[in-house]
Amino acid sequence: MIAEVEQDLFTPPPTRARRRRRLVRLLVLTAVVVLLAGVGTWAAGRLLDACGGPSSGVSDVDGECVGITDGSYEFHPDLAEVQRKILAENEWVLAQNKPYVSVALLSPLTWNGTSALDGAKILRLTQGTFLGQQRVNRSSLAGDPQPLVRLLLANAGSGLRHWEPVVAELANRMSGADRLVAVAGLGMSVAQTEAAAKRLSALKLPMIGALITADGLDHEHITGLIRANATNTDYVAALARHLATRPDLREGLLVYDANQPDLYTRTLKEALEREFGHRGGYLRYPPQSFVGASIPGEATPNMFDGITKNICTVHPQLVFYAGRESDLVAFVEALSHRVCRAEPLTVLTGATGFGLVKVLISKLVAANVTAVYASSVDAERWREGAPEAPNYRDFHAAFTEHFSQASLDDGYAVMHHDAVVTAARAIRLAAEQSRAADRLPTPADVLSQLLNLNNAYQVPAASGQLSFSAKTKGNPGGKPVPVLQVPPPSAGPPTTPYFTPSG
């Protein structure tokens, strides 16, 4: 009898094809393990970096929580109230079951001790943005209130330092449920703002600046960028108009911030030199430079002692100041210690609005200095019903239903409100022209209407009746630019404001 042989005791050697298949399976398995490990590491990193949890839309970048939220993530306790209002308005929009689109506020929403946009200014600009959203949703301020407007808060960090990942995420929000069609705000006139605007322009995402005044930040230089604010050239033209009424003030010098990345101070300096140099003949003495504290650099900021000594050497009547508001306080403090303090001095500049007026008054008096500045707002005069800003009183009434009137002093709330209203005006005009069944405009539709906001489609902004066209190059036409004085003059009628060209 032949014994049975167990088949498992002998396995024939694998063929070449089998060895090849086994190697492929091993390589695939190894790749899957590595991929899963990488995904796990990435996911863990995202969880560790997320501010407020992985679904907040906000991540920690160099110690700042940057990213995009509908208001549900709180960037700072000081912003809690206004962010709750934004979140509630966004939820209201969704609850209407009507067509909607989104507008993003791209801005610094966090700050540090040296930020040009500090906590108080960021609070005010966020308040103005919210009010603009609510007013265009609940009234016909920007045309028929459809589509409704959701608001996204896009924090690019202090000084807009982390704009790149935020702009990349904005690109993702152009499709899907957010339906992002425009960006408002854009922070201040610094190099990061220009770089972010150029990237958004490449994405064909329309932009409406609120605070930016630097020459060159407009549709002519960056396609798709318009702004609600006046330009530095407009500020200087308003100052020239004012000085034409002051024959007693003829001799001056320029004091300027040498921080090159600061587009505001650089283009303000250039505009002052054009207007008051060879053409006006006011700049009789050599210019004086300093390094401002608003943009960190290697040089020690606020070194004004040498400047004050030179001022007392040449005895000018005027100082044309091309610098930030925060540095002006230190400059005035230095002027109060100059040896020629008995000689009165007038400092001229341009700014969206001085939030430090109350701080400056006592320092200006002590220094025997008068500050004259071209501004984007004249809150006190406009509250009384000045004809150049016919919509301001309605804006003021709506604003004070939610926030303190003190938040209107520096113009940051006003200009961000106006940027959102301008965006909504373009959105509604695009919706009128849309042939889509849902009448929802695309970013390209809105972009095509930015320079049609004129005549019947002027923007009823709080800071004036604004007009945009190819002739204005994306700058606001017909915007009043008042010239204000601190301390205020003791008597005399208010001067008629300068208006920006309408083309």
Paired with 321 in beta bridges are 255
Strand pairing class (225-227; 58-61): unpaired
pLDDT at 437 over 70: no
Distance CA 367, CA 353 (A): 21
Alpha-carbon distance values, 36 to 22, 41, 42, 49, 55 (Å):
21, 8, 10, 20, 21
Strand pairing class (148-155; 252-257): unpaired
- Average of pLDDT values for 339-354? 93
Output the pLDDT for position 33: 39
pLDDT at 271 over 50: yes
Query: Residue 501 in 3-state DSSP?
Result: coil
In degrees, rounded to 5, the angle at the alpha carbon of residue 176 between the alpha carbons of residues 175 and 179 is 65
* Residue-averaged pLDDT of the chain: 88
Q: Which residue has the higher pLDDT, 52 or 231?
A: 231
Distance CA 370, CA 485 (A): 7
Q: How many CB atoms lie within 10 A of CB 380?
A: 13
- The sheet with strand 288-290 has its strands ordered as 288-290, 252-257, 318-322, 345-350, 369-374, 483-486
Q: Are 100 and 179 in contact (CB under 8 A)?
A: yes
Q: Which of 161-170, 187-196, 277-286, 461-470 has the lowest mean pLDDT?
A: 277-286
- Average of pLDDT values for 83-104? 97
Q: One-letter amino acid identity for 56?
A: S
Q: Which of 67-71, 120-124, 272-276, 436-440 has the lowest mean pLDDT?
A: 436-440
53 CB burial (10 A radius; 0-12, 13-18, 19+): exposed
Q: How many CB atoms lie within 10 A of CB 29?
A: 10
Distance CA 80, CA 73 (A): 9
> pLDDT tens-digit profile of 21-41?
555 455 544 543 343 444 443
Backbone angles phi, psi at 391, to 5 degrees: -100, -5
Numbers of helices and strands, H then E, in the chain: 14, 17
Q: Which domains does the chain possess?
A: 59-230+386-468 (3.40.50.2300), 233-375+484-499 (3.40.50.2300)
| Closest listed residue to residue 196, CA positions, set 170, 234, 228, 215 | 170
> pLDDT tens-digit profile of 390-400?
999 999 999 99
| Closest listed residue to residue 108, CA positions, set 129, 93, 139 | 129
> pLDDT tens-digit profile of 140-189?
999 999 999 999 999 999 999 999 999 999 999 999 899 999 999 999 99
Radius of gyration of the chain (CA): 28
pLDDT at 284 over 50: yes
- Average of pLDDT values for 106-117? 90
- Average of pLDDT values for 443-468? 97
Which letter, b or e, does each residue of 443-482 get, where b requires 16 or more Cβ atoms within 10 Å of its Cβ? bebbbbbbbbbbeebbbbbbbbbbbbbeebbbbbbbbbbb
407: which DSSP letter?
G
| Closest listed residue to residue 307, CA positions, set 284, 285, 290, 282 | 290
Query: Residue 498 in 3-state DSSP?
Result: strand
| Closest listed residue to residue 222, CA positions, set 198, 189, 186 | 198
In degrees, rounded to 5, the angle at the alpha carbon of residue 357 between the alpha carbons of residues 120 and 334 is 105
Q: Are 210 and 122 in contact (CB under 8 A)?
A: no
Which letter, b or e, does each residue of 234-259 get, where b requires 16 or more Cβ atoms within 10 Å of its Cβ? bbbbbbbbbbeeeeebeebbbbbbbb
What does 32-100 look like in DSSP terms, one character per residue? Answer: HHHHHHHHHHHHHHHHHHBSSSTTSSEEEETTEEEEEESS-S-S-GGGHHHHHHHHHHHHHHHHTTS-E
Q: Which residue has the higher pLDDT, 4 or 69?
A: 69
| Closest listed residue to residue 126, CA positions, set 50, 193, 171, 71 | 71
143: which DSSP letter?
B
Strand pairing class (483-486; 369-374): antiparallel
38: left (phi over 0), alpha (psi -120 to 50) or beta: alpha
pLDDT at 299 over 70: no
> pLDDT tens-digit profile of 126-140?
999 999 999 999 999
- Average of pLDDT values for 232-253? 95
| Closest listed residue to residue 266, CA positions, set 276, 258, 274, 275 | 258
Beta-strand runs (E) in 352-471: 369-374, 459-461, 464-466
